[in-house]
Amino acid sequence: MLSKVTSIALNGLDGVPVEAETDINNGLPSYELVGLPDAAVKESRERVRSALKNSGKKFPAQKITVNLAPADLKKEGSCFDLAIAVGILKATEQLSGDTDGIIFLGELALDGSLRPVTGILPLLISAKSHGFDTFIIPAGNAREAAYIAGAKTYAAQNLSQVVAHLSGAAPLVPLEAASYRGGEAAEEKFDLAFVKGQAIAKRALEVAVAGGHNLLLVGPPGAGKTMLARCIPGIMPDMTFEEALEVTKIHSVAGTLGAEGIVTRRPFRTPHHTATTVSLCGGGTRSVKPGEISLAHGGVLFLDELPEYHRSALESLRQPLEDGQITVTRSSGAYTFPANFMLCASMNPCPCGNYGSTERPCTCTAAAIHKYRARLSGPLLDRIDLQVEVDAVKYDDLVSEGREESSAAVKARVEAARAVQRERFANSPHVHTNADMGEREMSLFCALTPACEQILRLSFERLKLSARARSRIVKVARTIADLAGEAEILPAHILEAVSYRSYDIHA
Ligand SMILES: Nc1ncnc2c1ncn2[C@@H]1O[C@H](COP(=O)(O)OP(=O)(O)O)[C@@H](O)[C@H]1O
Ligand SMILES: [Mg+2]
């Protein structure tokens, strides 16, 4: 007897439907699994055998061949267990009922219960785009799967429930579609209202977030750099449902999804300074997983104490900082993951941290300072649009009774500036913020008056800027104009944008 049951495999961030064909013949009892399975898929034999027995079914003592098609796609993980078990039940006529057009997903435990699989959201989104709309999945994946609209998704606890559902003995009820409430849970622990003084740094934070620009905070220990950075998510605009789904897909594949089943808050990723290129950019030997820069997609990648990171790891950020995505090449193929994040970095100005301080003396030698700063390459710094000095807060500011502006107030201005950008880029699908602009958008939206051009020319020569730095300054000026509600970039906007580049740590 032959049976065919459909499942779906993850390939990067996309799903590819997989047909589990089961053939059962009289012959010496054996079990053969073909179709490029990895070790975890091969082990399905033991899980399926025990699960069937413990669900009151028979594992046939015959010659069983399971082919996972298409054969050229590498099959990884344990999500095909359920499809294989159902295929064996059908081929041995232990199961009645139609399985055509249904996608089966789930790992089987030895007792027959279904374990959740990673990446259910991207898998089901892809399945829908391939024309499938009926899914049987593990109950543990129900919260995530409920965000798939327009599908009949059944969540089962175990194999017996799946069998009873298919045979009509005890039909399951499809999941109720979950509705998205963006930002509702976004009660931030860190609020700008608690940061005293630091007007320049706060302004830089606002400009950076409004236009999606990268930011470097330089200052002595205790100046509040980490505190400021942690306030960034609280002033970022809420995610739309589409953005939330895109971010959730990545976290679903990486297995970093929380209990809610959907990411509603913008990510704030803080990889440790020992992070390797693979952990930052993605990769892995068994299955290719997105790295920190993709987990930060739509949010912030915070690299605290930037010079402490491995130079090679930092250099690997250059391309994704330019492209908003990363392509990881492995023997099994090339995988592209989104990586459009805002980079926020912090550093001390020198090893002791006091260089440039008006309060404390710096004890570092010139050579030590030079060596410390040389850990950061020019091309990396070039991609950081705003570089600001943060000095330790003045005691008077710290104890002042004056009310500081809340994150909510800043966020409102950011939202307004983002609304301007949304309208501006309505016809450019890959550009969401000023920072994303390419040459085409810049020529359309960043016309400079002769006065602005003059300021830029002087700064370019005096600060020895690169061509890349010039275009980044113009983009930041565009954001400053948007925050001011100006249609045109004015000299004051260029001047402010240049001021964020004048603190050159290589000088
Ligand atoms: N401007 C400020 N207003 C209020 N508290 C501050 C300010 N700056 C620093 N602090 C306090 O100092 C602590 C250390 O700041 P932190 O952000 O860790 O400094 P850094 O990262 O620059 O070394 C903060 O947790 C906060 O309690
Ligand atoms: Mg810190």
Q: What is the pLDDT of residues 20-40, one digit of tens each?
A: 999 999 989 999 999 988 888
Residue 476 domain-assigned?
no
Longest CA–CA span in the chain (Å) reads: 88
Determine the atom of ligand 1 nearest the C-alpha atom of 217.
22
Q: What's the pLDDT score for residue 185?
A: 47
Residue 494 domain-assigned?
no
In sign, the C-alpha dihedral spanning 482, 487, 492, 494 is positive
Each residue's pLDDT tens digit, 235-283: 999 988 888 889 998 998 888 887 777 888 899 999 999 999 999 999 8
Same domain, yes or no: 129 and 198? no
Residue 492 domain-assigned?
no
Residue 108 domain-assigned?
yes
For 240-261, b where at least 16 C-beta lie within 10 A, e where not — what string? eeebbbbbbbbbbbbeebeeeb
Q: Work out the average pLDDT over 221-243.
A: 92
Ligand 1 mean position, distance from CA 226 (Å): 7
What is the C-alpha separation between 492 and 494, in angstroms, rounded? 5
Pocket probe mutation, ligand 1, options 217, 226, 227, max atoms within 8 Å of Cβ:
227
3-class secondary structure per residue, 342-382: EEEEEECCCCCCCCCCCCCCCCCCHHHHHHHHCCCCHHHHH
pLDDT band at 303 (very low <50, low <70, confident <90, very high): very high
Same domain, yes or no: 309 and 412? yes
Q: What are phi and psi of 225, to 5 degrees?
A: -65, -45
Same domain, yes or no: 148 and 241? no
Which ligand sits nearest to residue 273's alpha carbon?
2
Ligand 1 mean position, distance from CA 267 (Å): 22
Q: Domain with 17 in it: what CATH number?
A: 3.30.230.10
Ligand 1 mean position, distance from CA 305 (Å): 14
Instruction: Report residue 344 as tokens.
Output: 């926020």
Q: Is residue 366 classed exposed, middle or buried when 0-12, 13-18 and 19+ CB atoms within 10 A define those classes? A: exposed
Residue 74 domain-assigned?
yes
Q: Work out the average pLDDT over 53-68.
A: 95
DSSP H or E run through 408: helix 407-424
Same domain, yes or no: 97 and 158? yes
Q: Work out the average pLDDT over 298-306.
A: 95
Q: What are phi and psi of 6, to 5 degrees?
A: -105, 140
Q: What's the pLDDT score for residue 43?
A: 87
DSSP state of 75: B
Q: What's the pLDDT score for residue 182?
A: 65
Minimal CA–CA distance to 7: which of 58, 70, 55? Answer: 70
Beta-carbon contacts of residue 201 (< 8 Å; ≥ 6 apart): 217, 224, 228, 388, 390
Residue 67 identity (one-letter amino acid):
N
Determine the atom of ligand 1 nearest the C-alpha atom of 229.
17
Same domain, yes or no: 151 and 14? yes
pTM: 0.84
Q: Work out the average pLDDT over 3-20.
A: 92
Determine the atom of ligand 1 nearest the C-alpha atom of 197.
1
Higher pLDDT, 507 or 333: 333
**For residue 507, is pLDDT > 60?**
no
Beta-carbon contacts of residue 122 (< 8 Å; ≥ 6 apart): 10, 13, 14, 15, 249, 252, 253
Determine the atom of ligand 1 nearest the C-alpha atom of 346.
21
Q: Work out the average pLDDT over 44-71.
A: 94
**For residue 332, is pLDDT > 80?**
no
Question: Is the N-terminal amide bond of 37 cis, ω within 30° of 0?
Answer: no
Q: What's the pLDDT score for residue 312?
A: 92
Minimal CA–CA distance to 273: which of 298, 245, 303, 246? Answer: 303
Q: What's the pLDDT score for residue 505?
A: 52
**For residue 402, is pLDDT > 80?**
no
Last residue of a domain, one of 423, 444, 469: 423
In sign, the C-alpha dihedral spanning 369, 383, 281, 71 is negative
Which ligand sits nearest to residue 224's alpha carbon?
1
Ligand 2 mean position, distance from CA 500 (Å): 20
Residue 283 domain-assigned?
yes
Q: What are phi and psi of 13, to 5 degrees?
A: -100, 5
Last residue of a domain, one of 390, 423, 456: 423
Same domain, yes or no: 7 and 129? yes
Residue 218 identity (one-letter amino acid):
V
Minimal CA–CA distance to 496: which of 214, 207, 205? Answer: 207
Instruction: Report residue 173 as tokens.
Output: 């009820």
Q: Domain with 236 in it: what CATH number?
A: 3.40.50.300
Same domain, yes or no: 391 and 273? yes
What is the C-alpha separation between 132 and 12, in angstroms, rounded? 20
Residue found under tokens 């013949």: 25
Same domain, yes or no: 247 and 137? no
Determine the atom of ligand 1 nearest the C-alpha atom of 393.
1
Each residue's pLDDT tens digit, 339-353: 999 999 999 999 988
Which ligand sits nearest to residue 399's alpha carbon?
1
Residue 52 identity (one-letter amino acid):
L
What is the C-alpha separation between 247 and 350, in angstroms, rounded? 36
Query: Which residue's alpha carbon is at the smallest distance from atom 10 of ligand 1?
Result: 224
Each residue's pLDDT tens digit, 80-124: 999 999 999 999 999 988 999 999 999 999 999 999 998 898 899
Which ligand sits nearest to residue 402's alpha carbon?
1
Q: Of all residues in the chain, what percent carry a pLDDT higher than 90?
A: 66
Query: Which residue's alpha carbon is at the smallest distance from atom 11 of ligand 1?
Result: 224
Query: Which residue's alpha carbon is at the smallest distance from atom 5 of ligand 1?
Result: 195
Ligand 2 mean position, distance from CA 347 (Å): 8
Higher pLDDT, 14 or 338: 338
Of 164-173, 384-393, 406-415, which range is least confident?
Answer: 384-393
Beta-carbon contacts of residue 36 (< 8 Å; ≥ 6 apart): 68, 71, 72, 73, 74, 75
Q: What's the pLDDT score for residue 188?
A: 64
Same domain, yes or no: 15 and 90? yes
Residue 486 domain-assigned?
no
Residue found under tokens 């589409």: 242
Pairing type for strands 63-69 and 14-25 reads: antiparallel
Q: Work out the average pLDDT over 358-367.
A: 86
pLDDT band at 201 (very low <50, low <70, confident <90, very high): very high
Last residue of a domain, one of 152, 167, 182: 167
Q: Work out the average pLDDT over 191-199.
A: 91
Minimal CA–CA distance to 162: which of 81, 123, 104, 79? Answer: 104
Ligand 1 mean position, distance from CA 227 (Å): 6
Q: What's the structural domain count of the chain?
A: 2
What is the C-alpha separation between 105 and 7, in angstroms, rounded? 6
Strand, helix or coil at 239? coil
Q: What's the pLDDT score for residue 418?
A: 96
Query: Which residue's alpha carbon is at the smallest distance from atom 15 of ligand 1?
Result: 224
pLDDT band at 330 (very low <50, low <70, confident <90, very high): confident
The DSSP result for 111-161, as a single string, is TSBEEP-TTHHHHHHHHHHTT--EEEEEGGGHHHHTT-TT-EEEEESBHHH
Q: What's the pLDDT score for residue 384?
A: 93
Ligand 2 mean position, distance from CA 222 (Å): 7
Which ligand sits nearest to residue 217's alpha carbon?
1
Same domain, yes or no: 243 and 355? yes
Cβ–Cβ contacts within 10 Å for residue 457, how many?
11
Same domain, yes or no: 152 and 34? yes
| Domain range enclosing 202 | 192-423
Ligand 1 mean position, distance from CA 223 (Å): 5
Mean pLDDT across the chain, nearest whole number?
91
**For residue 506, is pLDDT > 70?**
no
DSSP H or E run through 457: helix 450-462
**For residue 393, is pLDDT > 90?**
no
Lining residues, ligand 1, CB within 6 Å: 195-198, 219, 221-227, 393, 398
Determine the atom of ligand 1 nearest the C-alpha atom of 390.
22
Cα of first residue to Cα of last residue in the chain, in angstroms, is 77
Same domain, yes or no: 134 and 196? no
Ligand 1 mean position, distance from CA 189 (Å): 14
What is the C-alpha separation between 360 and 473, in angstroms, rounded? 32
